[in-house]
Amino acid sequence: MSIILGIESSCDETSASVCIDGKIVSNIIANQTIHELYGGVVPELASRVHQQNIVPAVHQAITAAKIHKKQIDAVAFTRGPGLLGSLLVGTCFSKAFALANNIPLIEVNHMQAHILAHFIDEPKPLFPFLCLTVSGGHTQIVLVKNYFDMEVVGETLDDAAGEAFDKTAKILGLPYPGGPLVDKNAKLGDPNKYKFTEPQIPELNFSFSGLKTAILYFVRDNVKLNPGFLHENMNDICASVQSRIVSILLNKLKKAAVQYEITDVAIAGGVSANSGLRDGLNAMATKEGWNVFIPKFEYCTDNAAMIAIAGYYKFLAKDFVGQEVAPLARMPF
Ligand code: KG4
Ligand code: ZN
């Protein structure tokens, strides 16, 4: 029997989770609302709030799992990538917890963990599969050969898909984080009303900065002609932008599937909560004959369950780190 405590603190969610024998039994997420006042995550504030939230989050995760802390066999934590001040809180907590309880420490790569969230519930994908990982900081197509043998075969050259959603929302005057609000408005709008061009980027890479600029000019020009333009057309604008972001993502995913001759395809990361992307992927899967894997909503955005499950597989492999480990803002696979 193995009990793993997972700790996530890479951005603005403080999260703790308990995994018993590969099953997630608790997943506590403390959101930080203070950043809404600033229109984006303020790193200094994020680390301070993590410091306040981490011990209560761990207590709640242990209580909800109906275990005693002395039963925990290992602590797994996000080492990177992420905001350094935020990562330091989770790393220091985990090192202290491991030391105090004399248990091993397991480092986890946040981007790998988003992908390994697919191993929390059935059906689990079979190796090798392709995963489109789309979050606030990353947009990657990953060839997943095994639990920790992953290759990034395509990525964004500038903004991440989540950033494209959030920056669009900001231009439209929606509060932060705007991605979910663009999604909500898009459900009521016409995706074919406005056409934004698809960038021609080589190979399996992406670019979203041109789209952001196009939206900025489009809004500026139309508001000049009609000051009520945004208010009157909000749902159609959101639907049209979302439809373009989704088509950019899915066209590259299709290209990757053909190139690598793979029909098992997954999505992961915060943007995989987007309903347009989920529907678009399902439609493409039917057309292309893919098996698709779409995470439950609670495992799309940042959470410690994905860290705990990654920790579980590392625990089985006895892949531990020492007390000298330090967090990494940038952390390749
Ligand atoms: O993975 P995540 O929680 O944090 C990072 O590691 O970045 O992803 C957060 C990103 C944000 O950009 C947020 O706006 C976006 O995911 N997001 C969405 C939706 N839910 C979250 N974007 C579009 N539609 C959604 N429903
Ligand atoms: Zn993330």
For 252-262, what is each residue's pLDDT tens digit?
A: 999 999 999 99
Neighbours of ion ligand 2 (CB under 5 A): 135, 302
State the pLDDT at residue 176. Answer: 86
State the pLDDT at residue 103. Answer: 98
Residue whose C-alpha is closest to residue 90's, from 103, 102, 106, 79: 79
DSSP secondary structure of 25-44: EEEEEEE--GGGGGTS--HH
State the pLDDT at residue 333. Answer: 87
Residue whose C-alpha is closest to residue 58's, from 96, 7, 102: 7
**Ligand 2 centre distance from Cα of residue 114 (Å):** 7
Q: Above pLDDT 70, what percent of the chain?
A: 100
State the pLDDT at residue 278. Answer: 98
Under-70 pLDDT residues of the chain: none
Boundaries of CATH 3.30.420.40 in the chain?
3-115+300-316, 123-294
Nearest ligand, CA 271: 1
Gap between the Cα atoms of 246 and 120, Å rounded: 26
**Ligand 1 centre distance from Cα of residue 297 (Å):** 11
Ligand 1: which residues within 6 Å by Cβ? 11, 135-137, 162, 165-166, 177, 179-180, 183, 269-271, 273-274, 301-302
* Predicted TM-score (pTM) of this structure: 0.95
Q: 191-211 pLDDT, tens per residue?
A: 999 999 999 999 999 999 999
What CATH number was assigned to the domain covering residues 3-115+300-316?
Answer: 3.30.420.40
State the pLDDT at residue 208. Answer: 97
State the pLDDT at residue 218. Answer: 98
Atom of ligand 1 nearest to the CA of 160: 12
Angle at 327 between CA 147 and CA 117, to 5 degrees: 30
CATH architecture of 123-294: 2-Layer Sandwich (3.30)
Q: DSSP 3-state assignment of 144?
A: strand
